[in-house]
């Protein structure tokens, strides 16, 4: 069902983890739907993304798209990172099954959310960047295990 | 890849050697149409008749009450649609539960569009319906109660005998979807007051594409497939002779081995459950600890998603299933797990292991050992777990 590239990024995910004192962190998705992605970015003074890490709760495609998205943004400028679309992530993975396309959208959103967080922290405006829409507040209420 | 460990026997099972051998002559040797006049077809007619008898004996029915179908879903569709239609002059109310298979739920939704009224009973946390709820749901126009004998996901065995008694007292027909229960737990149509029962061959080491519907004598149920006189004019279509022979043999073998098989599977089931609960944190058992199918394990691991878990198990040669959204093809996790009260994100982390007599204790330990590493790995990359750990640290 998945391409070899997807399987490779699922089995050997690149950039799993956290960045302490990250320049920007973005969390998107919703535990209710079964996918949450969190991307950490370390951005230097010249606006270059030095490091990207992720944590993901989700299916195989969600893990693979997070892994690929973090690979794609590393070394890019903020503007270049903004231009990475879900299509680019999918193409880099040699495609996704139709029901998994939303995972690539989530990856794109996660990058944008992390950049938004960076812009907020530094009080700057990034051209063409919209505030993130997804939030995961819903899962907080239901921790009565 | 390591050797295959197949733990998805609720999805389907391997055809047993004995069943396969019984079927074989009916493909190339005795290939006649049982409805034909010439003596060459007699052998086929006899085989169909014998299979009917083999099946009837396992549930205490008469052979004339067994109707062959193309499987469990057809049987469920038939039981609901044709019966609702036949009894619609008496009333238009049907009672079922929220944890039925979609072959029941979607058929009920269809009937609602045709003007029927359906009550979907809630279930308790262990997955059992409440008899009091059932009694309260009965109306003067209730014509049919359809409750599964055992649940396919969480393995909970429903109080079929009590349900049958309530149905009988109130003069309401009782259908049970026994696709997961037939051949696994004892079923007796008379003592349980079952009026209709659906079952399938491929869940009991028989072939796919063949099942039956038991319809108690005297019940009005129209023809479901039109076009021939087969199955007492109720279900047209040339008999699937090899399939029918396979189903008959599988039913007979399952009935003979039931007690011993259940004991074997329960031992492994309980070993897996207790190891998982003891050795992996933030986990819960779904369904009832005792009133469950002998071969069913269903657990939820918090902070992780089912499909990832299945993919990693697959790499270790383990076939299992999950009720996560990703495995259902929708955004919602299993309706059964939601009906027993689990929040969405916990339901997404469910794992179902369904055993067979091929499953060894060694297999069980291998799977639990692998599972520990898989859960740890997925949690280490889960933002939900990260948040949880940080919250705990505060």
How do residues B368-387 score in pLDDT, each as one tens digit?
999 999 999 999 999 999 99
In chain A, residues with a C-beta closer than 8 Å to the C-beta of B389 are none
Cβ contact B305–A10 (<8 Å)? no
Is A77 a domain residue? yes
Q: Is A38 on the interface with B (CB under 8 A)?
A: yes
With residue B146 as reference, give the H or E element that holds it: strand B142-146
Q: What is the pLDDT at residue A134?
A: 56
Is A33 a domain residue? yes
Is A135 a domain residue? no
Cβ contact A31–B324 (<8 Å)? no
Strand partners, B136: none
pLDDT in tens, B265-316: 999 999 999 999 999 999 999 999 999 999 999 999 999 999 999 999 999 9
- The shortest C-alpha distance from A85 to chain B (Å) reads 22
Q: With a cut of 70, say whether residue B357 has pLDDT above it.
A: yes
Which of A128, A134, A127, A125 lies closest to A32 in space, CA to CA? A134
Cβ contact A56–B303 (<8 Å)? no
In chain A, residues with a C-beta closer than 8 Å to the C-beta of B305 are 34-35, 57-59, 62
Q: What is the ipTM metric for this complex?
A: 0.89
Q: What is the CATH number of the domain that holds A112?
A: 3.90.1010.10
Report the residue of chain B nearest A66, measured CA to CA.
Answer: B381
Cβ contact B344–A60 (<8 Å)? no
As annotated, the active-site residues of B are 326
Which of A44, A11, A45, A5 lies closest to B311 in space, CA to CA? A11
> What is the rounded average pLDDT of the residues B107-121?
98
Q: How many domains does chain A have?
A: 1
Is A91 a domain residue? yes
Cβ contact A58–B326 (<8 Å)? yes
pLDDT in tens, A87-101: 999 999 999 998 899
CA dist B332 and B323 (Å) reads 9
In chain B, residues with a C-beta closer than 8 Å to the C-beta of A6 are none
CA dist B350 and B49 (Å) reads 43
The band of B327, judged by pLDDT with boundaries at 50, 70 and 90, is low
As given in the structure block, the two tokens for residue A38 are 């969190």
CA dist B8 and B95 (Å) reads 30
Which comes out higher in pLDDT, residue B3 or B174? B174
Q: What is the pLDDT at residue A31?
A: 78
C-alpha distance from residue B92 to each of B109, B162, B258 (Å): 13, 23, 38
Is A30 a domain residue? yes
A59 is catalytic: no
Is A144 a domain residue? no
Cβ contact A16–B308 (<8 Å)? no
A33 is catalytic: yes
Mean pLDDT, chain B, whole residue set: 96
CA dist B203 and B112 (Å) reads 30
Question: DSSP readout, B276-289?
Answer: HHHHSSSEEE-S-S
Which of B177, B218, B216 lies closest to B199 in space, CA to CA? B177
Q: What is the pLDDT at residue A140?
A: 42
In chain B, residues with a C-beta closer than 8 Å to the C-beta of A4 are none
Is A69 a domain residue? yes
Asked if B296 contacts B272 with a C-beta cutoff of 8 angstroms, the reply is: no
In chain A, residues with a C-beta closer than 8 Å to the C-beta of B386 are 18, 38, 55
As given in the structure block, the two tokens for residue A119 are 């812009």
From the list A16, A27, A145, the residue facing B381 with the nearest CB is A16
The band of B2, judged by pLDDT with boundaries at 50, 70 and 90, is low
Q: What is the pLDDT at residue B173?
A: 98
From the list A18, A57, A62, the residue facing B384 with the nearest CB is A57
Is A47 a domain residue? yes
Q: Which domain holds residue A81?
A: 4-125
Helices and strands in chain A, H and E counts = 5, 3
Cβ contact A34–B345 (<8 Å)? yes
Which comes out higher in pLDDT, residue B76 or A99? B76
């Amino acid at each position: 069902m998945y391409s070899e590239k997807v399987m490779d990024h699922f089995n050997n995910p690149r950039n799993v983890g956290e960045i302490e004192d990250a320049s920007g962190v973005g969390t998107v998705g919703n535990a209710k739907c079964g996918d949450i992605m969190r991307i950490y970015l370390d951005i230097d003074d010249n606006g270059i993304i030095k490091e990207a890490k992720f944590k993901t709760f989700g299916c195989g495609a969600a893990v693979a798209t997070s892994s690929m998205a973090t690979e794609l943004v590393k070394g890019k400028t903020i503007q270049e990172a903004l231009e990475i679309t879900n299509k680019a992530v999918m193409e880099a993975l040699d495609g996704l099954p139709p029901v998994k396309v939303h995972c690539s959208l989530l990856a794109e959103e996660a990058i944008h959310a992390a950049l938004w967080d960076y812009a907020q922290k530094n009080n700057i405006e990034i051209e063409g960047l919209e505030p993130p829409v997804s939030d995961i507040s819903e899962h907080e209420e239901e921790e009565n295990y | 890849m390591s050797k295959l460990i197949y733990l998805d026997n609720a999805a389907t099972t391997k055809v047993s050697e004995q069943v396969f051998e019984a079927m074989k002559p009916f493909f190339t040797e005795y290939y006649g149409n049982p409805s034909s006049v010439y003596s060459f077809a007699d052998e086929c007619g006899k085989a169909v008749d014998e299979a009917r008898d083999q099946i009837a004996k396992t549930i205490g029915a008469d052979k004339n009450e067994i109707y062959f179908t193309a499987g469990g879903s057809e049987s469920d569709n038939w039981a609901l649609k044709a019966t609702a239609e036949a009894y619609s002059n008496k009333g238009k109310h049907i009672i079922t539960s929220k944890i039925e298979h979609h072959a029941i739920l979607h058929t009920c939704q269809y009937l609602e569009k045709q003007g029927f009224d359906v009550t979907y009973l809630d279930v308790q946390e262990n997955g059992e319906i409440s008899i009091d709820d059932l009694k309260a749901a009965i109306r003067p126009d209730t014509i049919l109660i359809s409750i599964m004998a055992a649940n396919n996901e969480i393995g909970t065995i429903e109080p079929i005998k009590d349900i049958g008694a309530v149905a009988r007292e109130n003069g309401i027909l009782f259908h049970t979807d026994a696709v997961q229960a037939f051949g696994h737990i004892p079923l007796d149509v008379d003592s349980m007051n079952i009026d209709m029962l659906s079952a399938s061959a491929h869940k009991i080491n028989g072939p796919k594409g063949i099942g039956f519907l038991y319809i108690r004598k005297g019940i009005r149920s129209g023809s479901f497939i039109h076009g021939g006189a087969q199955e007492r004019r109720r279900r047209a279509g040339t008999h699937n002779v090899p399939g029918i022979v396979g189903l008959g043999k599988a039913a007979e073998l399952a009935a003979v081995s039931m007690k011993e098989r259940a004991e074997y599977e329960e031992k492994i089931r309980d070993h897996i459950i207790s190891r998982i609960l003891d050795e992996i944190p933030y986990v819960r058992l779904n369904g009832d600890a005792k009133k469950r199918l002998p071969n069913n394990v269903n657990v939820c691991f918090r902070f992780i998603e089912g499909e990832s878990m299945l993919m990693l198990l697959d790499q270790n040669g383990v076939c299992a299933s999950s009720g996560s959204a990703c495995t259902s093809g929708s955004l919602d996790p299993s309706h059964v797990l939601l009906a027993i009260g689990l929040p969405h994100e916990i339901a997404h982390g469910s794992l179902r292991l369904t055993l067979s007599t091929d499953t060894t204790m060694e297999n069980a330990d291998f799977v639990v050992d692998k599972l520990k590493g898989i859960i740890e790995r997925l949690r280490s990359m889960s933002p939900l777990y990260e948040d949880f750990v940080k919250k705990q640290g505060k």
